[in-house]
């Protein structure tokens, strides 16, 4: 085992101004891309709110299956990004190409399973989320039409991940931006029946999702081909590199477990709220939209931290990675507080624009206050557990932390609060949104131990450079 500081040799620390320039050059496009992806996911719910509260609630519940799908993709993306960032830092483009090939294969298989499930059994899936027959019927219609979009999303997100890691973050941002613009532009006529189109309601929202996601897929693959630095080759898809595949699954299995533990716990929050009435579902849907849209800068910092720290670790710049981690923690704390304050600032506008029943409106008013402190804590856990820890192959801590906090503490308390103690809806919501605040404390303590400072490339694993 070697010490991170000594392993760095005579590396010169990046000046603060250069570091900040690099961070925001990388983080801002990623954050904007995250914002556009969140906006794309929220666009259906926002526009369907004008059709009716039931349509809004149904699609909010239906998109939870895409949320679960995205969790699996997130594990694949984190595993891929960890290896690609470090091999890109080590200037091994061949390894990057091989990793990209077999990850596309796995993403395609997962996408095909979700597409089949939402096409063939949408009513069964919706019945798991709510016992309201109207919401089940509306959500099933949305799932059936949007099923093919899973195939497009699975491959396009791997391609966009590659673009971010090879220095084309701005290009990936443009792809997501145009995809959202197309989605929103098509939503208007397809949902409401404008320009000679029939008013399709929830099915119109699903059709626009399919078209926009298809365009994103085609564009991202064409851009990778045009850049030409890394190519998607059939031989890497059909015959994965055995050594790299072993490295990938060594970390990704744990990441997948972590994402599923976290995501299924988060879905349980929605299920609990879904059984507290249509007003609770509608208010929770709007609160989640606001939260998802405004935590994007926090997500951008986490992604930027993962890429920059991974690049440094791949070239054995352990001292630089340690300094970068410290700087990222400070920036994330600032971004988290600013995000929370932003939610508080726009709260009156959201309450004014929300088309809800009086009871749902009252719920939303308090939920937005909860979202403010949630965002501040999420910024730190997103950087550490979701960013710099996986960048160095430290993936087990996140799994243990999420397992204990969500499934031993928060979910059981939420179930008791809702169905045994019969607490008011707002108190149930407050208890269900304490997870990030609880996780932040052990995450920061673990960060200070610096076990995430590791080079996981093949060359490092076969030498004494890896930091255990």
Count structural domains, the chain.
2
Q: Is the pLDDT assigned to residue 12 strictly greater than 70? A: no
209-220 per-position pLDDT tens digit: 899 999 999 999
Q: How many CB atoms lie within 10 A of CB 218?
A: 13
pLDDT of 41 above 70: no
Pair 230, 262 in one domain: no
d(CA 375, CA 460): 37
Instruction: Tell me the average pLDDT across 229-241.
Output: 86
Residue 325: closest CA among 307, 310, 305, 311? 305
386 and 425: one domain? yes
Domain stops at, among 240, 263, 290: 240
Q: Is the same domain home to 227 and 260?
A: no
- The 10s digit of each residue's pLDDT in 359-399 is 888 999 999 999 988 888 999 998 999 888 988 888 899 99
The reply to whether 267 and 334 lie within a common domain is yes
| Whether residues 233 and 262 fall in one domain | no
pLDDT at residue 191 above 90? Answer: no
pLDDT at 107: 94
Which range is least confidently modeled, 130-144, 220-234, 293-307, 428-442? 293-307
Question: Residue 10 — very low, low, confident or very high, per pLDDT cuts 50/70/90?
Answer: very low
List the end-to-end C-alpha distance of the chain, in Å, as a whole number: 6
Residue 393 lies in a domain: yes
The pLDDT of 434-458, averaged and rounded, is 89
Q: Are residues 25 and 173 in the same domain?
A: yes
DSSP state of 449: T
User: Mean pLDDT in the chain?
Assistant: 85
Identify whether residues 271 and 389 lie together within a single domain: yes
Q: What is the mean pLDDT of residues 125-147?
A: 89
Q: Where are the alpha helices (DSSP H) in 384-424?
A: 389-391, 396-402, 411-415
The whole domain housing 158 covers 17-240
Residue 159 has pLDDT above 80, yes or no: yes
């Amino acid at each position: 085992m070697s010490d991170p500081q000594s392993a760095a040799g005579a590396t010169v620390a990046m000046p603060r101004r250069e570091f900040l320039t690099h961070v925001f050059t990388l983080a801002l496009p990623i954050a904007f891309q995250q914002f556009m992806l969140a906006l794309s996911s929220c666009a259906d719910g926002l526009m369907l709110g004008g059709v009716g509260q039931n349509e809004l609630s149904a699609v909010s519940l239906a998109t939870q299956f895409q949320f679960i799908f995205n969790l699996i993709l997130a594990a694949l993306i984190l595993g891929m990004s960890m290896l690609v960032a470090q091999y890109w830092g080590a200037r091994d483009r061949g390894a990057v190409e091989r990793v990209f090939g077999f990850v596309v294969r796995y993403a395609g298989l997962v996408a095909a399973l979700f597409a089949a499930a939402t096409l063939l059994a949408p009513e069964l899936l919706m019945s798991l989320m709510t016992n309201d027959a109207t919401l089940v019927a509306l959500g099933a219609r949305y799932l059936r039409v949007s099923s093919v979009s899973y195939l497009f999303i699975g491959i396009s997100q791997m391609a966009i991940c590659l673009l971010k890691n090879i220095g084309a973050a701005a290009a990936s941002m443009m792809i997501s931006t145009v995809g959202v613009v197309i989605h929103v532009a098509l939503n208007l006529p397809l949902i409401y029946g404008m320009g000679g189109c029939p008013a399709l309601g929830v099915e119109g929202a699903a059709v626009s999702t399919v078209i926009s996601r298809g365009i994103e897929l085609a564009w991202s693959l064409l851009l990778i081909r045009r850049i030409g630095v890394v190519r998607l080759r059939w031989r890497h898809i059909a015959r994965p590199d055995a050594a790299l595949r072993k490295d990938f699954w060594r970390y990704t299995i744990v990441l997948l477990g972590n994402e599923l533990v976290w995501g299924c716990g988060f879905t349980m929050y929605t299920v609990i709220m879904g059984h507290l009435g249509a007003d609770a579902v509608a208010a929770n849907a709007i609160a989640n939209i606001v939260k998802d849209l405004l935590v994007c800068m926090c997500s951008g910092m986490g992604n930027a931290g993962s890429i920059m720290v991974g690049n440094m670790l791949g070239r054995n710049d352990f001292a630089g990675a340690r300094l970068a981690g410290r700087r990222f923690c400070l920036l994330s704390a600032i971004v988290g507080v600013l995000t929370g304050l932003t939610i508080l600032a726009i709260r009156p506008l959201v309450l004014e624009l929300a088309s809800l029943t009086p009871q749902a409106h009252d719920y939303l008013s308090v939920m937005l206050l909860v979202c403010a402190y949630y965002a501040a804590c999420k910024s730190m856990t997103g950087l550490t557990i979701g960013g710099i820890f996986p960048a160095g192959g430290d993936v087990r801590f996140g799994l243990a932390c999420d397992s204990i906090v969500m499934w031993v503490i928060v979910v059981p308390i939420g179930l008791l609060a809702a169905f045994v103690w019969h607490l008011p809806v707002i108190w149930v919501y407050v208890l269900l949104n304490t997870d990030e605040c609880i996780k932040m404390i052990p995450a920061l303590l673990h960060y200070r131990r610096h076990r995430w400072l590791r080079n996981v490339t093949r060359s490092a694993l076969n030498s004494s450079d890896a930091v255990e």
